[in-house]
Amino acid sequence: MKNVTITVDEKVARWVRVSAAEHDLSVSRYVGEMLKSRMQSELGYDRAMKSFLGREARALKTNGSYPSREEIHDRSVLR
């Protein structure tokens, strides 16, 4: 683990102390868990976006006409 020094407003410092105490954690551990959660969330979003953008493009117009709204929003086709 690495130690990091941060600077925050008094209001933020008060809030994080109370919130950490409510979760029975030190401020250091609480902030570390918050940052870890945020990192995992962003990494998950990036993976999902890359997966979506990595799919092969499909032609929207087939058989000379566009699909109906119901066909477009049929989630089973997207899986």
pLDDT digits (tens, 9 = 90+) for 23-65: 999 999 999 999 999 999 999 988 888 998 998 887 777 778 8
**What local confidence, expressed as pLDDT, does residue 29 receive?**
95
Asked if pLDDT for residue 1 goes beyond 70, the answer is yes
Residue 61: the pLDDT is 77
- Of residues 25 and 78, more confidence is placed in 25
CA distances from 58 to 2, 7, 28, 77 (A): 47, 50, 49, 12
The tokens for 15 are 């809030």
